[in-house]
Amino acid sequence: MPNIIVVGTQWGDEGKGKIIDLLTPSVDCVVRFQGGANAGHTVVIGEQKTVLHLVPSGILHEQCRCIIGNGVVLDPVTLIDEIEGLHQQGYLSDPLRLAVSDRAHVVMPYHRQIDSLREKRRGASRIGTTGRGIGPAYEDKVTRQGIRCIDLVDPNAFEERLDLLVPEKNKELELLGGTPINVDELMDLREKWANYLAPHITDTTMLVHDAMRDGKKILFEGAQGTALDIDHGTFPFVTSSNTCSGGALSGSGVGPTAIDDVVGIVKAYTTRVGQGPFPTELEDECGTHMQDKGKEFGATTGRRRRCGWFDAVLVRHAARVNGLTKLVLTKLDVLAGLKKLKVCVAYELDGKRIDYMPADAHALERVKCIYEECEGWKGDIADARSMDKLPKAAHRYIDMLADLIGVPVDIVSVGPDRSANIIIRSIF
């Protein structure tokens, strides 16, 4: 029963989509467990690039059952577009291969509106959200006034919830300078969404447990990264869900005893989109090298990603809070051509050396990085498919990261294509 959780270990954009696609042939089922259409998981096969926001990254493999779990906040407009896009690319010939939890909360148009209006009002203190309504949708879940997928397929339940919600939302929208909403328009949307999505909506907790009972292998797919986790990230510059391995359990309805391994995806340097502290950020030609060579633009918003040296303090924090057992190192090829590489091994905070992430974002803004340097390498490594094809300096860099994090690297990704990997040890 090898079931694994795959999570991001930094601020997202570590290349989870590609690695989940790579691991999918070894599993029967991929379950996305948190976040929403703020995610952008990219899978590249030859000339074809597929960006997935809600649909699990295992969808390109016809044998794999894909599940959107209860922990996800689901935007029906994005999901319908995504399903249509997959059909156009020739995937998902059996649409029922994709199941959506009846317990998942729905991102409504007013959530997107509130997200954007709040960001505008925050001005310089904005979070830099993706504007996809994620925070407001999770907020309604926690305050118990959200609409769930199960309500979409029941017009009476949907209307009952709207009757309570709409006056309150309109007060908030008025305060924020937004456009009021009305029940009739939302009821029309419900009908359209339900007609399309009803066949997918089901009790996915039961699906997952039936699969486990039948000895099937399951991969739980995280979105964003540990430093964006609502509890363990750089609060308040975080997303609104538990991006860590703990979120996989609550977000899909399984217990910790069901999990065999927790795989952390780690980029060979650090990137971040949106606002918030970033101790190793570079504003020089090395940062520009990472940005250009790594094509560091957001897959969801197209925003330029901030780039910096590898931060081992951050990833060690991820190893702790996720219980990581294995690592996949991505985008190593991007570092080729940099003479020296720096790795942040500890921080100095107010004159004191610390080797953990402070909880206070202001403190994290103040830390100075303590770096260790190592040699870079010149030649392109994008064609390497075994460790003996990598230069010595790249070996030393990989070993240094694994030692600092305390978790072994099992796979090294050296390019965006599905096939561009060095498998050191099989994950399964």
Of the pair 239, 421, the CB lying nearest ligand IMP is at 239
Assess 130 for contact with ligand IMP (CB under 6 A). Answer: yes
Dist. CA 53–CA 57, nearest whole Å: 9
Amino acid making up residue 422 = I
Q: Would residue 111 show up in a list of annotated catalytic residues for this protein?
A: no
Q: How far apart are the first and last CA of the chain?
A: 10
Q: What is the dihedral of CA 23, 30, 54, 121, to 10 degrees?
A: -90
Answer yes or no: are the C-beta atoms of 81 and 52 closer than 8 Å.
Answer: no
Give the shortest CB-118-to-ligand IMP separation in angstroms.
10
129 binds ligand IMP (CB under 6 A): yes
Work out which of 239, 325, 330, 421 binds ligand IMP, going by CB under 6 A: 239
Find the binder of ligand IMP among 10, 34, 38, 325 (CB under 6 A): 38
Contact of 51 with 40, CB cutoff 8 Å: yes
Quick one: three-class SS letters along 320-334? HHHCCCEEEEECHHH
Based on the residue annotation, tell me whether 261 is a catalytic residue of this protein: no
113 or 130: whose CB is closer to ligand IMP?
A: 130
Q: Which member of 132, 148, 289, 316 binds ligand IMP (CB under 6 A)?
A: 132
Q: Does 54 bind ligand IMP (CB under 6 A)?
A: no
Alpha-carbon distance 118 to 172, whole Å? 10
Which listed residue (224, 226, 242, 413) binds ligand IMP by CB under 6 A? 224
3-state secondary structure (DSSP) of residue 282: coil
Q: Least distance to ligand IMP from the beta carbon of 271, Å?
A: 8
Gap between the Cα atoms of 306 and 281, Å rounded = 7
43: β partners: 50
- For 342, phi and psi rounded to 5 degrees? -115, 145
Least distance (Å) between residue 53 CB and ligand IMP: 9
Q: Mark the segment that binds ligand IMP (CB under 6 A) among 132-140, 280-288, 327-335, 353-361.
A: 132-140
**Least gap, CB of 106 to ligand IMP (angstroms):** 16
Q: Which residues bind ligand IMP (CB under 6 A)?
A: 11-13, 38-40, 127-130, 132, 134-135, 223-224, 228, 237, 239-240, 273-274
